[in-house]
Amino acid sequence: MKTTSATRFAILGLLSLEPMSGYDIRRAVDDVLRHFWNESYGQIYPTLAALEHEGLIRLMPAAARASARRRKVYAIAPAGRRALAAWRRKPPVYRPFRDEMLLRLFFGDAPSTPALLGHVKRLRAAETRRLAEYKAIEARIRREAGDHASRPFWRATLRFGHHRSSAIVRWCDETARALRGSRARTP
Amino acid sequence: MKTTSATRFAILGLLSLEPMSGYDIRRAVDDVLRHFWNESYGQIYPTLAALEHEGLIRLMPAAARASARRRKVYAIAPAGRRALAAWRRKPPVYRPFRDEMLLRLFFGDAPSTPALLGHVKRLRAAETRRLAEYKAIEARIRREAGDHASRPFWRATLRFGHHRSSAIVRWCDETARALRGSRARTP
DNA sequence: ACGGGCATGTAATATGTTACATGATTCA
DNA sequence: TGAATCATGTAACATATTACATGCCCGT
């Protein structure tokens, strides 16, 4: 394996906060990393097995687990913390991004303009929803992580989302105006 | 094949502008779609074959080709134009995005702060470069596509990049300030 | 004559999602 | 007791990148 994937570090990162099962990790990703990350079970379970094999995480003894269920709770090992720290300092590799909405827009023409305006409108609604979510998360961080050492970092990622979504909303408004205008000029 | 991939439509879209070879398509993607799309030869050539098989594009006769070289130039077929038009109107499927820089930042701590500030600084430089590129492309559109019907659509995608990059630059500045500040407060 | 760009294509590999199989536990 | 949720795992499939193989054509 060549493994340039960040999946293992997302998992290691979450385990650095507290011990978790594969199921917990999935939930944590969906709950807290959602705005800039995602993982599926198909990635999580095999990666967990590999990480344990490499000694970066340890399976906690059943006795120490919260319930009698057959959950498998993993904790990060010292080698895992070191790997995480090293990865954190490494400049992220650039991943070219793809945007299907922009692709549609680029190949737009007069007859498709109403449909494209619909795409823009839906995007605007989605980004507006995100802005509201960010506000809720910010309140939650203030409440639950008042003094946590990670707070400034969590806040920074949140602010990224805020800046990004605000900019997209502004773009949607500008573009709706421009496209309605050009449709009027070119009937 | 289930084929929800937009690759075929990126190719169809480019061929709707003018007939091209696989090599040309790769160059066009890198040249004009670069800011929101990418394709590799490994995708382009097999997709071209499939598209021709389905009758969405046609191989132009060698005689009609610009040079005597063994280039294979494809033109979009009427069925291809129809498929492109139908796709254009379909709301884009949401693809969750992943940002490795934000992932690093989220799992940041005091000792890694200087490295993270480095990531932020490099991102700022990259987005600033993009802004300059957008300006150059805007001038080029004005020059080369003064009256082209696609101009409003091309401009809209460009404006998206502008809004996005500007917002990220602002976030970088804000975040650099915040992280330097919290490093000072938590030594 | 040869280096660089033009040009097509494939194989190996990486990465990821989705759907399914399986079953335990909890609670109304 | 039955539905919802917890929980683990895998197989099939989809998508994409990278590296390689191959060879032509043009200008110096």
Inter-chain residue contact A38 with B106, CB threshold 8 Å: no
Q: What is the pLDDT of residues B1-16, one digit of tens each?
A: 568 899 999 999 999 9
Task: Tell me the domain boundaries of chain A.
Answer: 6-89, 100-185
Pairing of strands A74-76, A57-59: antiparallel
Task: For chain B, positions 44-83, list CB contacts with chain A under 8 A.
Answer: none
Q: Please, are residues A101 and A119 in contact by the beta-carbon 8 Å criterion?
A: yes
Given a cut of 90, is residue B174 above it in pLDDT? yes
pLDDT band, residue B145 (cuts 50/70/90): confident
pLDDT of A186 higher than 90: no
pLDDT digits (tens, 9 = 90+) for A55-73: 999 999 865 554 445 889 9
What is the predicted pLDDT for the residue at A70? 81
The reported pLDDT for the residue numbered A61 is: 83
Q: How many helices (H) and strands (E) does chain B have?
A: 7, 2
Contacts of A108 in chain B (CB under 8 A): 88, 150, 152-153, 156
Q: Which CATH class is domain A6-89?
A: mainly alpha
Question: What's the average model confidence in pLDDT over A153-160?
Answer: 97
Interface of B with A in 137-166 (CB under 8 A): 149-150, 152-157, 159-160, 163-164, 166
Percent of chain A with pLDDT over 70: 92
pLDDT over 60 at A184, yes or no = no
Contact assignment for A159 to B175 by CB distance below 8 Å:
yes
- DSSP secondary structure code for residue B64 in this structure: G
Report pTM: 0.92
**Res B187: pLDDT:** 44
Q: What is the pLDDT of residues B92-118, one digit of tens each?
A: 999 988 999 999 999 999 999 999 999
- Tokens representing residue B89 in the block: 């109107």
Phi-psi region of B30 (alpha: psi -120 to 50; beta: other; left: phi over 0): alpha
A171:B163 CB<8 A: yes
- Residue A1: pLDDT above 70? no
Backbone angle region of A119, left / alpha / beta, with phi > 0 → left and psi within -120 to 50 → alpha: alpha
- Cα distance between residue A33 and residue A7, in whole Å: 12
H or E element that contains B95: none
- Res B66: pLDDT: 47
Residues of chain A contacting B9 with CB distance shorter than 8 Å: 103, 107
pLDDT of residue B70: 81
DSSP conformation letters of A111-179:
GGHHHHHHHHHHHHHHHHHHHHHHHHHHHHHHHH-SS-TTHHHHHHHHHHHHHHHHHHHHHHHHHHHHH
How far is residue A185's CA from residue A110's CA, in Å, rounded to a whole number? 10
**Which nucleotide comes closest to A2 if you measure CA to C1'?**
C14
Residue type at B126? Answer: A
**Is B6 an 8 Å CB contact of chain A?**
yes
Closest among B87, B71, B88, B89 to B19, alpha carbons compared: B71
Q: From CA A66, how far away is CA B24, in angstroms rounded?
A: 60
A16 contacts B107? CB cut-off 8 A: yes
Nucleotide nearest to B68 (CA to C1'): D25
The per-residue pLDDT for range B51-87, each reduced to its tens digit, is 999 999 999 987 555 444 588 999 999 999 999 999 9
3-state secondary structure of B57: strand
Name the average pLDDT for chain B: 92
CB contact under 8 A, A153 and B108: yes
A102: its two tokens: 């922009």
CA distance A25 to chain B (A): 15
- What confidence tens digit (pLDDT) does each residue in A78-136 have? 999 999 999 999 999 999 889 999 999 999 999 999 999 999 999 999 999 999 999 99
What is the predicted pLDDT for the residue at A187?
Answer: 45
pLDDT at B184: 56
Residue B146: count other Cβ atoms within 10 Å of its Cβ: 8
| Near-strand D residues (CB closer than 7 A) | A 21-24, 41-42, 45-46, 48-49, 67, 69-73, 96, 98; B 1-7, 38-43, 67-70
Q: What is the pLDDT of residue A84?
A: 98
Q: What is the pLDDT of residue B17?
A: 96
Nucleotides of D under 7 A from a protein CB: 6-20, 24-26
Q: Do A163 and B157 touch (CB under 8 A)?
A: no
Residue B57 phi/psi, 5-degree rounding, is: -135, 160
